[in-house]
């Protein structure tokens, strides 16, 4: 007998049905991050360090609570297993350093939109590393996305502007984020959300902390407002948003997950308009829509 759509929906694990809402909520939470980065009293890399370091507090609490409840939960033991759960953090550290830097070089809308071109890089990496085939639809979508970026920047004449450097750094961050998503998806097949988040965040914090100590003049905020900004960035954008995304990756493929995270630039653009007085021009809106359409076409291909 053929089951109805309602019967199929009811047969799904209740926890699994939370995957897509968790993914969308996680994307929205991360969409708030650029505002906190912009108003931070520290440089981009130092802000990235505190974003990760302060996120370790709630992650460690949840991790210890999970271990007390679920005694059968798999944990890393060997050096290789610790590397597996910590490896996503290496890409996360590089991604955050690049993304935070781009937010100080171009608009919030541009930076957040371009860094969320990660689905294109997810597909490219899957082709290069995993040997998956690429269809012509992906090439068409890629071309449309590139055209959208040109429109987003105001046409051919705008490509020589200073903002193009910030946009380029955002594209590099997108490639790094794609590597992070792929490694998360692989690790999530064997370990729980909190295990991966704790160890990957720890490795990312160590990397960004060392880089910030060497490269930036100030390492600590000097006001209470500065600490509140960092705590909000760490607990809302990092611990909350990334944990929800990692939870969703247990049931959703990495390519779909990275595509659905396009909610981030929408949230970031609205918040930048409200709090940073960064208005969106008609050309930016048109270019952003073209980029999103191109990414969707690339995903279908």
Q: In angstroms, what is the C-alpha Rg of the chain?
A: 19
pLDDT in tens, 65-100: 777 666 556 777 788 888 888 889 999 999 999 999
Asked if residue 96 lies in contact with residue 51, where contact means CB atoms within 8 angstroms, the answer is yes
Tokens of 124: 């490219």
Q: List Cα–Cα distances, 231 to 37, 226, 234, 239, 240, in angstroms.
A: 11, 9, 5, 10, 12
Instruction: Look at residue 163 in the predicted model and tell me its pLDDT.
Output: 67
Instruction: Look at residue 212 in the predicted model and tell me its pLDDT.
Output: 93
pLDDT in tens, 10-40: 445 666 777 778 887 888 888 888 999 999 9
Tokens of 94: 């590089």
Q: Using 50, 70 and 90 to split pLDDT, how confident is the model at 159? A: very low
Distance of CA 283 to the CA centre of its chain: 25
Instruction: Look at residue 230 in the predicted model and tell me its pLDDT.
Output: 94
The residue ranking higher by pLDDT, 150 or 177, is 177
Q: Compute the half-sphere exposure of residue 85: CA atoms within 13 Å on the CB side of its CA.
A: 21
Beta-carbon contacts of 271 under 8 Å, excluding residues fewer than 6 positions away, are 31, 32, 34, 35, 108
Torsion (CA) 99, 105, 109, 115 in degrees, nearest 10: -30
Tokens of 116: 């969320």
Whether this prediction's pTM lies above 0.95 is answered by: no
The residue ranking higher by pLDDT, 153 or 250, is 250
What 3-state class would DSSP assign to 186?
Answer: helix
Q: Dihedral sign, CA of 180, 185, 47, 237?
A: positive
Distance of CA 273 to the CA centre of its chain: 21
pLDDT in tens, 105-137: 888 877 887 887 777 787 777 777 766 677 777
The residue ranking higher by pLDDT, 254 or 231, is 231
**What's the CA gap between 221 and 212, in Å, rounded?**
13
Tokens of 195: 């295990």
Distance of CA 21 to the CA centre of its chain: 16
Pick from 164, 150, 138: nearest CA to 300: 138
Min mean pLDDT across 24-28, 86-90, 254-258, 285-289 is at 254-258
Count the helix, strand and coil residues of the chain and give each as a percent rounded to the nearest 5.
80, 0, 20
Distance of CA 207 to the CA centre of its chain: 17
Tokens of 139: 């090439």
Average pLDDT over residues 191-210: 89
Distance of CA 10 to the CA centre of its chain: 31
First to last CA, the chain: 33
Pick from 295, 219, 270: nearest CA to 31: 270
Beta-carbon contacts of 53 under 8 Å, excluding residues fewer than 6 positions away, are 205, 209, 234
């Amino acid at each position: 007998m053929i089951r109805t759509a309602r019967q199929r929906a009811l047969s799904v694990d209740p926890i699994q049905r939370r995957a897509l809402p968790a993914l969308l909520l996680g994307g929205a939470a991360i969409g708030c991050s650029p505002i906190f980065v912009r108003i931070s009293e520290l440089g981009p890399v130092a802000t990235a360090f505190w974003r990760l370091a302060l996120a370790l507090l709630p992650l460690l609490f949840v991790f210890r609570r999970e271990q007390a409840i679920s005694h059968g939960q798999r944990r890393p033991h060997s050096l290789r297993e610790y590397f597996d759960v910590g490896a996503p953090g290496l890409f996360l550290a590089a991604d955050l350093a690049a993304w935070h830097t781009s937010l100080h070089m171009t608009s919030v809308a541009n930076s957040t939109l371009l860094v969320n071109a990660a689905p294109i890089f997810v597909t490219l990496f899957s082709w290069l590393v995993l040997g998956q085939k690429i269809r012509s639809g992906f090439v068409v979508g890629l071309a449309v996305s590139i055209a959208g970026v040109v429109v987003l920047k105001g046409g051919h004449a705008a490509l020589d502007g200073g903002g193009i450097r910030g946009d380029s750094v955002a594209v590099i961050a997108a490639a790094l984020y794609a590597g992070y998503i792929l490694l998360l998806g692989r690790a999530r097949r064997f370990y729980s959300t909190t295990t991966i988040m704790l160890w990957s965040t720890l490795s990312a914090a160590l990397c960004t902390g060392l880089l910030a100590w060497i490269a930036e003049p100030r390492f600590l905020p000097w006001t209470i407002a500065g600490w509140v900004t960092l705590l909000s960035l760490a607990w809302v954008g990092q611990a909350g948003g990334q944990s929800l995304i990692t939870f969703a990756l247990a049931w959703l493929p990495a390519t779909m997950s990275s595509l659905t995270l396009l909610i981030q630039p929408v949230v970031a653009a609205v918040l930048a308009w409200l709090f940073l007085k960064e208005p969106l021009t008609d050309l930016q809106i048109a270019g952003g829509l073209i980029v999103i359409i191109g990414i969707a076409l690339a995903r279908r291909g």
